[in-house]
Chain A
Amino acid sequence: MYTFSNRLRIGAIILMALGIVGMTIGFISAPGSVEEAKAIVAAHDDGHGGSHGEEHAVAGHETHDEASAEEHAAHDEHVYHQLANRPWAALYVAAFFFFMISLGVLAFYGIQRASQAGWSPLLFRVMEGITAYLVPGGIIVFVLLVLSVLHFNHLFPWMDPEVVAEDKIIQNKAGYLNPTFFLIRAAIYLGGWIAYREISRRLSIAQDKADDDSNFKKNFRWSAGFLVFYLVTESMMSWDWIMSVDPHWFSTLFGWYVFASMVVSGVTVIAMVAIYLKSKGYLPDVNDSHIHDLGKFMFGFSIFWTYLWFGQFMLIWYANIPEEVTYFVQRIEEYKLPFFGMVAMNFVFPLLVLMNSDYKRINWFVIMTGIVVLLGHYLDVFNMIMPSAVGDKWFIGLPELGALSFFSGAFIFWVFRALTKAPLQVTRNPYIEESRQFHY
């Protein structure tokens, strides 16, 4: 049995506490009215005047240009929304990112069970521990969605009746993009994923004490069923929770692109948690071949992610159809560094570092790559949400770091707490002996 070390627990709590402080400052300093927003913009331009790097200089510049235009009030309203959105968007990005990790692990776990993999049963309990975060993480994301529906923030423009009233395009989508149906769908996705997680976990523990393989077989069937459900709901979730923040934009690939980001982050976290637990002596049977396999999946899915990223980007860039291309125009103009930086972190770095077979067996190499990959995929979610939420008013400051810190603390706390609930090695899985003897 694993015991949650005090140092890790305290570390997680400190992360959460720091996170709450950061996020609170973020919410307090966000403007409550259009006037406050104007004051902030004015103060920002006076006080910092370009010392914040290029993006901010450009941002300030544009503000002046546009301010001189006729639509004075509309512009101020827009800037107010952007500034008011920032702490919410920071919160939403981090909440979704950590939720997405545990969902990615769940998908990977389902695949491992359905494909009857012989190498991974030793890691099943690690994966089950990570997917335990689905419940709190899912509830937080759901609460954030409810708060958006209740107009606490302006993350989803289509939820604002005033915006919809003037926007023919959004009106035409109202059959799908309406708050009630949106929340019902979210409840169905979350309910389905969490239900599979709980059922599979229960069967997995029951199998340890059983004297036949019936629980194992049931788990196999549930996993196959879950994967079908996941294939459909994951795509829809990505349209709902991410694509609809830009209600004018659409891309058929989007669901699978989000999937790739999700699963690569998930596999990375499995590897990192497994290496941590092994370093503490809790997973004696996990050897460097298991880490090597996880490293290969990190490598492979990183390339797969890049393939989908490039497929989506290149096709839209190439055809250059105005209604689609704005999505990338805005990102390249206003988010140049995060947009291309993410490609370096999610593709170039793992490609070079994890190419060598020996390196994939070295724990610190995998951990180091893992950190870069995770930060890269945080940036990926950041790039998907922020441009529509805050536009050129983005910055990675207290609200963003606070949210990241809070959710990483919560994630660590919940996952490692869940790991104490059951033995770290499944015992009566028919493939456990294959997994124990696994050498590559």
Chain B
Amino acid sequence: MASHYEAPIRKPLVLGDKGYHDVSVDIAAPVEGKANKHWWIVFSISLAALLWGIGAIVYTISTGIGTWGLNKTVNWAWDITNFVWWVGIGHAGTLISAVLLLFRQKWRMAINRSAEAMTIFSVIQAGLFPIIHMGRPWLAYWVVPIPNQFGSLWVNFNSPLLWDVFAISTYLSVSLVFWWTGLLPDFGMIRDRAVKPFQKKIYSLVSFGWTGRAKDWQRFEEVSLVLAGLATPLVLSVHTIVSFDFATSVIPGWHTTIFPPYFVAGAIFSGFAMVQTLLIIMRKVCNLEAYITVQHIELMNIVIMITGSIVGCAYITELFIAWYSGVEYEQYAFLNRATGPYWWAYLLMMSCNVVSPQIMWFKKIRTSIMVSFIISIVVNVGMWFERFVIIVSSLHRDYLPSSWTMFSPTFVDIGIFIGTIGFFFVLFLLYARTFPVIAQAEVKSILKSSGERYKSLRAAGKPMYKIRKDGVVRETIMDSEGTLSNTDK
């Protein structure tokens, strides 16, 4: 890995007078403590939403897909919108843990754990939709190429919907393995700190006997790098394959070659926005402000701003090429988006996705936690509408005017979506109470190069340790006035 030298111009990533022990204590605190009233309130609301969603799903499957607002023309709407939206949100997790690892971004270490958790929980939500939007979901196993008694009746590998099956299931499994590997040293830390036998037992089980030997660490790093190298093309290909669902078709507004990279950019965009929403709350309720700093929020805002600009560039490209192509269907598809019955959705998507992230060019705004929180929600609303606009506005008016129609969701469509949001938060809230939400092992690895204490020691030209005459090694610490001394810590 990179050397320990760090340019003084870089701002500290761990604030305050934090040593190794402080990191362990701070990160283990939410796991070792008890849930407060607020947690239970939010958890109950999420659980209620989840139960409502389960009800809606059971109703759909037992009664039929006709309970949804779909019709013969618009046969994909909220189901696939939500699917793509959830998959997109999941992408930021892999991006933060894999791509930022490949780019040696040290700031990712405070956010990668939660981002990956978010990936896994949102991919689970996404994974529900391909099943429940089927007319006969009990035959869903037919999409898997398994030898069978129909003379080995096989699947057709030409459909992007089948590629989706492979993409999503691979993505979920690789993300899960990547996440869990990273968790081993942290579970080990919680295990070693646990005082109650039950906790000790559980964390011993999930930490797989991690002892942190040099050889283990060496292989751990190697595996992380290899998985990051694999997860990066995976994350690109997964959302690319999702985009193929539309782009391989011949529907005007769907068939366009820019979809693969543009969906990926949109996924990073919405995923980072979701990470931002979650972490701004988490740093507050879990007292992690020293680790998830304003600089982290600023950097995530910059990623949101960049991907927002890329998405904006893609919107303009699509509009331009629609005109340039001279294909009237294509031109109408975009005219219909802007001025048709769903103009409001298009306007929402454009203003939330293209205009709103541009205010991040101002440093005052992108370092404001309040504004970041609001924009992160705005972006996710915008990205939901992006998928809705792409899917519904292209379907409801295409080649034959005699099949033009409209779409409006029923309470079942909405109920399932609310249910997945509830499910997501149920999982995330449980995670926040039982998992180390920050990768302590990784944060400790950057503490001495990027921690505020050590940076100020270096700036002051003081040694980080002092060996007393009796041979005891003392860490140098900083008191509240910022004076540095070698004492017990």
Q: Give me the interface of A with B, judged by CB distance under 8 Å.
A: 118-119, 169, 172-173, 176, 213, 228, 231-232, 235, 239, 250-256, 296, 300, 303, 307-308, 311-312, 314-316, 318-319, 321, 323, 430-431, 433-434, 437-440
Interface contact A255-B2, CB-CB below 8 Å: no
- Assembly CA distance A253 to B248 (angstroms): 14
| Residues of chain B at interface, number, CB under 8 A | 38
A-binding segment of B138-146, B184-192, B310-318, B478-486: B310-318
Sample of 30 A–B contacts (CB below 8 Å): A118-B2, A173-B324, A173-B326, A213-B9, A228-B309, A231-B309, A231-B310, A231-B313, A235-B313, A235-B317, A239-B324, A250-B321, A250-B324, A251-B257, A252-B321, A307-B233, A314-B248, A315-B244, A315-B247, A315-B260, A318-B248, A319-B250, A323-B325, A430-B7, A431-B7, A433-B7, A434-B6, A439-B2, A440-B1, A440-B2
B residues with a Cβ closer than 8 A to A are 1-3, 5-9, 102, 233, 236-237, 240, 244, 247-250, 255-261, 309-310, 313-314, 316-318, 320-321, 324-327
Partner of A303, one of B233, B247, B256, B313: B233
The 5 closest A-B pairs by CB, nearest first: A252-B258, A253-B257, A311-B260, A430-B9, A318-B248
By a CB distance below 8 angstroms, the chain B residues around A256 are: 258, 261
The minimal Cβ–Cβ distance linking B188 to chain A, given in whole angstroms, is 27
What residue of chain B has the Cβ atom nearest to residue A296's Cβ?
A: B102
Chain B residues within 8 Å of A318, by CB: 248
Q: How far is the CA of A438 from the CA of B6 in the complex (A)?
A: 10
Residues from chain B with Cβ under 8 Å of A311 in the complex: 240, 257, 260-261
- Chain A residues with Cβ below 8 Å from B257 are 251-254, 311-312, 315-316
Query: Which residue of chain B has the shortest Cβ distance to A225 in the bound complex?
Result: B361
Chain A residues whose CB sits within 8 angstroms of the CB of B249 once the complex forms: 319
Determine if B236 and A307 form an interchain contact, defined as CB atoms under 8 angstroms apart.
yes
CA distance A431 to B259 in the complex (A): 37
Apart from A431-B9, A437-B5: 12 A-B pairs, beta carbons within 8 A:
A232-B313, A232-B316, A235-B317, A250-B324, A251-B321, A253-B257, A253-B260, A296-B102, A315-B256, A316-B257, A433-B7, A440-B2
> Which A residues lie within 8 Å of B248 (CB)?
314-315, 318-319
On chain A, the residues within 8 Å of B309 by CB distance are: 228, 231
Question: How far, in Å, is A360 (CB) from chain B's closest CB?
Answer: 13
Contacts of B258 in A (CB 8 A): 252-253, 256
Complex CA gap A433/B321 in Å reads: 47
Quick one: closest A residue to B314, CB to CB? A252
Residues of A within 8 A of B316 (CB): 232
Question: Do A307 and B260 touch across chains, with their CB atoms under 8 A apart?
Answer: yes
With a CB–CB cut-off of 8 A, which chain A residues contact B240? 307, 311
Bound together, the chains give a CA A308 to CA B3 distance in angstroms of: 35
Do B3 and A437 touch (CB < 8 A)?
Answer: yes
Q: Evaluate contact between B255 and A315: CB separation under 8 angstroms.
A: yes
A440 to B3, CA, bound (A): 8
CA of A250 to CA of B327 in the docked complex: distance in angstroms? 10
A255 and B317 in contact (CB under 8 A), knowing A228-B309, A250-B325, A440-B2? Answer: yes
Contact A439 B321 (CB under 8 A): no
A242 to chain B, nearest CB (A): 14
Chain A residues with Cβ below 8 Å from B320 are: 239
Contacts of B8 on A, CB cut-off 8 Å?
430
- Give the complex CA separation of A433 and B5 in angstroms: 8
CB distance from A12 to the nearest CB of B (A): 36
- Which residue of the partner chain A has the closest CB to B257? A253
A322, B5: Cα distance in complex, Å: 58
Name A118's contact: one of B7, B317, B318 (CB within 8 Å): B7
Q: Please state if B324 and A253 are interface contacts (CB–CB under 8 Å).
A: no
- Separation of A51 and B382 alpha carbons in the complex (Å): 61
